[in-house]
Structures are given as C-alpha cells and as structure tokens.
Structure 1
Amino acid sequence: MLRLHSVLAVAIGLATAGVTIAGTPPSPECKGTLYLTFDTGNMRDAELIADTLARHGVKATFFLAQEKTTRGDSALDAGWAPYWRARVAEGHAFGSHTWRHGSFRADSGALVRYRLQDGNSETLDAAGVCAELQRPDTRFQELTGRRLDPLWRAPGGRTTPNTLAAAQACGYRHVGWAAAGFLGDELPSETHPNAMLLQRALERLRDGDIVMAHLGIWSRKDPFAPMFEPLIAGLKARGFCFATRRGQT
C-alpha cells in the first residue's frame, strides 16, 4: 500500500505540474493485463487521449457511435476520418456503440424497446437491432477502409436477452466493463474530483479488468482525460500490461 501511495503522489504531482511522464513499453513479465476501452462521447478529449496512449505504447478498444461532438459535428462524420485512420494505423481495436446511441430498455415478446436520446422510443425486431450495430461498422469502413472488430457495447451498458441474441446472430459480441473499471469520468467533478477517481482506479483495478471511459463527456465540468497520464504510469508501475479486446472472450 505504501508503494502505491508513493506512485500515486508522484503521478498526481507530475500531472498537476504539467510534466510529461515518458511512456515505456510493457514489461515482458506482466503481473496482470488490463483492457482500456473508450466510448466516443462528445470527442472533446479524443486527441489528448490518443496522444497519451501513443506515448505509453498502449493499445485500447474504441466503441463508436454517431454522437454529437464539441466541434458541432458527429463522431463518424467525414471530418473525423483522419482521427480514426490514425488510430487504425496505431493498431487499436474498434467496436460498435450503436448508431444513434439509444438505450435498450426492455423486451416485449420478440421485440426490444429502444429509447432514443430525444426521449422518444422505438420498437426494434432482431433486424432492427442488427442495423443499429452495423451502421457504425459500415461507416467506419467508409472512413478508414477497415471494418470494425466483431464487438459492441450497449450505451450505458444496458442490454436485454433479445438484444444480446440479435447482436450475436449478426456477429457482434458484447463487451461490458468491470466494477473497478468504471473510471467515473461521467460523474460530477464537484463530488468526484480527478484525484479521487485516479486513486480509486490505482487501488482497485485487478488482472483481467475491463476499464471504461469516454473520449469526452458532456456531464463532467473537469475532464478526467489528463489523468490518463498518471493512471497508465501508475498501473505500469504496479506491473500491469495492456491489451485490446480483439480476440478476447
């Protein structure tokens, strides 16, 4: 515990001072493997997160939806093609986060109630669920020349038996996250400051955990993204390596 607190103190101090922590390749003898995953969100911190991952030589899994961004466009519009092509070139993994970023609420017979962000709901059959997952896949191929990996994540992590069955039938495996892997970047920064979230992650993450965050989130005033520098450095100091969810069960 003393060593962890020392790592945390150094990491927070460097981050606060604006000092860059040099990235180092993962140790060949990992004490555990973690899976960093990012949902699109509003993309405010997309470049900072990408730069941090590249500096540390860490590969992540990105889940893509056509969400509104702080630039006034959407995450899978043509203006984001260079960003996604660069991530493909770096060797990251990619999955669907649905096209409209709706919420799968409940099954009714063979159908699923799908609540959209404007508060309206639709009823989808299995083909409709597949269409929601496949549209980001098609668009990503148009932007990058590469298909998504056969992965998806439900917005908010909300799934139903019908939704999971439909997704599996059209080739997508759902990826959730570990309880300790919920970094809290969507929580109010007034009650969940970055230093607290960072310390919690460094203390609680364990081998095999899937870590979930966003490339930007509307609901948080103080972005968590600058904390990925000390977070990754601190986790490496604990002996963790990082991998994508590509090919993982």
Structure 2
Amino acid sequence: MEDYIYKRQNFNQREKLRKKRRRRKIFFSSVGVALVLGAGGFFLRNTLLPKLQEAGDSFVKAPLPEAGNPGEAPKSEELPEVKEFTPKRPAEKIPAEKTAPEVKDLKRLKEGSNHSYEASAYAYDTRDVKAWMRGRKDFEGEKNLAFLTFDDGPHKNTEKVLDVLKRHGVPGTFFLLGDNVDKNGTPLLLQRYIEEGHGIAVHSYSHDYSYLYPGRSARPDRILEEYEKTRTSIRGHLGESFDTHVFRFPGGSMSWKNMEEAQNALLAEGIVDIDWNSMSGDAEPKNRRPATSEAMGAYAMKTFRDNGDRKVAVILMHDVQKTTPEYLDHLIDEFLEAGFTFGILK
C-alpha cells in the first residue's frame, strides 16, 4: 500500500513537471513567433515595399515601343546639359525717365505740311474753304468760320501781330514772300509760326506785277518758278519736311488775265490758290482806308457781309502795315462776338 502511494506521488510530480515544461515551450514559441512577425513587418515596410513601388513607377514611366518595331527597347531621351547662368555684368538700374513712353511734341512741324501736329485739329483744306467762301458748297459747321490771313511778310511788324494772336489764342495763315523770307526771316521766327499754331502759305517770291503778269496777263511758268523759290527759302529755315499747297496771287486772282491757265498749272502741282471775301482795308488808298483801329475791325465785318454774308470768312490783312497789330484786337473781337471760330488753311 505504501508502495502504491509512493508511486502515485511520483506520477503526480512527473505530470506537474511535464505540464510546466509544455507551458514554458508554448510561451517561448509565442515569443519567437512574435519576434519573427515583427522582424518580417519591419523588413516589408522598410525594404521590400520601397523596391516594389520603385519597380512599379519604372513600369508606368517606361515609353511604349513604336508601332512597327515590336520588342524594341525604348530609347531614353538625352537632355541637353544645362549650364549655370552667370551674368557678364551686374544688373544696371534704368532711370524712370527712360522707361516712360516717348511723348510726341505736338507743337512741332507736321511732316509734309505747313502747320504743327496740334494745328491739324483746325486746319481746313483750301479747296473746301474756297468753295464755301464762293457759295459753291454749303458749310455744315455749327459755328461760323473765319480765316485770318496776312500777306507780304515776314516783316518787323510780324512779331507784334503774332503777339496779338497769342494773346487772343487764335490762329492765322501767313502768306510769305520769298524775298522777305531771305531778308527778314530767321529760324526762330519761322519756327514761331509753327509752334504757336499758325499756317504758312506762299505769296510769290518778288510780288513784282510786271514780272508775274506782263501785259496784265499771268505767266504760269513764272508763277510756278516763284512758288518753288519761296518754298525753298522757307525750307532753309524749317527743313525739308516743310511743305505747303496754299498760294495767293499778288493782287488777287480777279485782277489779271489768263488766270485759269495759271491756276491749272498750280493745281497740276497740287497747289490751290485762294483770294478773300473780307478785308480790313489796311492796304487801301488813304481816301478809302478806315480812319481808326475800331473802324478797321468794323470794316472787315462789313465787307464780309457785303460779299454774301456766308458762314465762312477769309479776311485779307498785311502784317507789313504798321496799323495791323493796332487794329487786330478790334477785328478779332468783331468776329468773336458774331459767333465765329478760327481756322488755318492747309
């Protein structure tokens, strides 16, 4: 009996030891599996996955082989070598005035014309003015239109006439004699005509009736000769870009014979002549000349109305006359009060 009990105790002890060893084996096996799984996850995340992703990107980016060449390996494009930019000199600061757009001087001579760029706004074609003045064509402007014209300059009185016009802010057209341009003209004076908004026209070179109209009959060749000579004299002061297509016959076209031939000769060169339908009387004989400055201004309006009272007035004056700068204020006021605006001939 005692022997049985002893054996039973030994069996129980051995069974406990066996269970203990099994639990220990299971524990260490679990720890090993956990370590293996952890190491595998670390390897998958840090080593295997990046390689798989890189291989996938290479597959997507690889170009397909061209049609007709199956199996041909795609050629990789060789990019040109990019050189680092090195400036040859340090950056230069540009002054502000150099970056601003160029502004055209509107008071300078408009090329190929007899006036400034600014004066283009009130420069009228002489053909039209001539037709309006003679009633051959209706003037459709809202206001009456006046042209202040001055013959025979330049002269010592010219600067005074220009001063009066500047004070009133009105323009005029100056019919110059080439001989006086050569004697009295200066670049400063000729430039003043342009810069102050006036027009320049030709009134022959010599104003010599016997040469231009021998036997009171116009000589077209001599008239063209003197026109060209005068224009050349003006260009000597204003440059070759100056040109004018406006002419007035000395004494007016109504005073001579053979005028149609002379006018056609001018027209063939693009030159238009023009007379007047109003005058101040400054060149009239003393027995017909108005006695005062105020009377000369009134006389210009009277002669305009006597000649048809149309909407366009071309007023004859002479800047060589001493009285011209004296009566000019009154004449301008007469036409301003009558609702006239002022233009130049081109």
Q: TM-score, normalised by structure 1?
A: 0.68
C-alpha distance 208-102 of structure 1, shift in aligned 2 (>3 A): same
Distance in 1 (CA, whole Å) between partners of 2:158 and 2:232 is 21
C-alpha distance 123-38 of structure 1, shift in aligned 2 (>3 A): closer
Q: How many residues align?
A: 195
C-alpha distance 78-121 of structure 1, shift in aligned 2 (>3 A): same
C-alpha distance 232-131 of structure 1, shift in aligned 2 (>3 A): same
Equivalent in the alignment of 2:169: 57
SS at match of 1:40: strand
Deviation at 1:42, TM superposition (A): 7.0
SS at match of 1:34: strand
Aligned positions of 1:152-231 closer than 5 A: 152-158=247-253, 160-178=259-277, 181-189=278-286, 191-192=288-289, 193-194=291-292, 195-205=294-304, 206=309, 207-217=311-321, 223-231=323-331
C-alpha distance 189-164 of structure 1, shift in aligned 2 (>3 A): same
Summarize deviations over 1:27-54 as a string: whole Å, max 9, x none.
xx96311111111257242111101111
Q: Which amino acid aligns with 2:271?
A: Y
Higher strand share goes to which structure?
Answer: 1
Equivalent residues of 2:218, 2:262 under 8 A apart:
no
Aligned identity (percent) is: 23
Q: TM-score, normalised by structure 2?
A: 0.50
Equivalent in the alignment of 1:98: 204
SS at match of 2:234: helix
Q: Which amino acid aligns with 1:40?
A: D
Would you say 1:240 and 2:335 are equivalent positions? no
Deviation at 1:196, TM superposition (A): 2.7
Unaligned runs of 5+ residues in structure 1 are 1-25, 68-73, 106-112
* 4+ runs deviating over 6 angstroms: 120-123
Aligned positions of 1:106-185 closer than 5 A: 114-115=212-213, 124=219, 126-145=220-239, 146-158=241-253, 160-178=259-277, 181-185=278-282
Distance in 1 (CA, whole Å) between partners of 2:218 and 2:287 is 38
Distance in 2 (CA, whole Å) between partners of 1:190 and 1:204 is 17
Deviation at 1:114, TM superposition (A): 2.4
Deviation at 1:79, TM superposition (A): 4.6
Cα root mean square deviation, aligned: 2.9
Would you say 1:32 and 2:170 are equivalent positions? no
Summarize deviations over 1:81-129 as a string: whole Å, max 9, x none.
32111111122111111111123x8xxxxxxx7248xxx99984x4443
> Which protein has greater RCO, CA pairs closer than 8 Å, 6+ apart?
1
More moved, 131-140 vs 193-202: 193-202
Distance in 1 (CA, whole Å) between partners of 2:302 and 2:265 is 37
Q: Which amino acid aligns with 1:227?
A: Y
Unaligned runs of 5+ residues in structure 2 are 1-121, 123-140
Q: Which amino acid aligns with 2:178?
A: Q
C-alpha distance 48-78 of structure 1, shift in aligned 2 (>3 A): closer
Distance in 2 (CA, whole Å) between partners of 1:244 and 1:94 is 9
Higher helix share goes to which structure?
Answer: 2
C-alpha distance 230-54 of structure 1, shift in aligned 2 (>3 A): same
C-alpha distance 79-94 of structure 1, shift in aligned 2 (>3 A): closer
Distance in 2 (CA, whole Å) between partners of 1:123 and 1:52 is 36
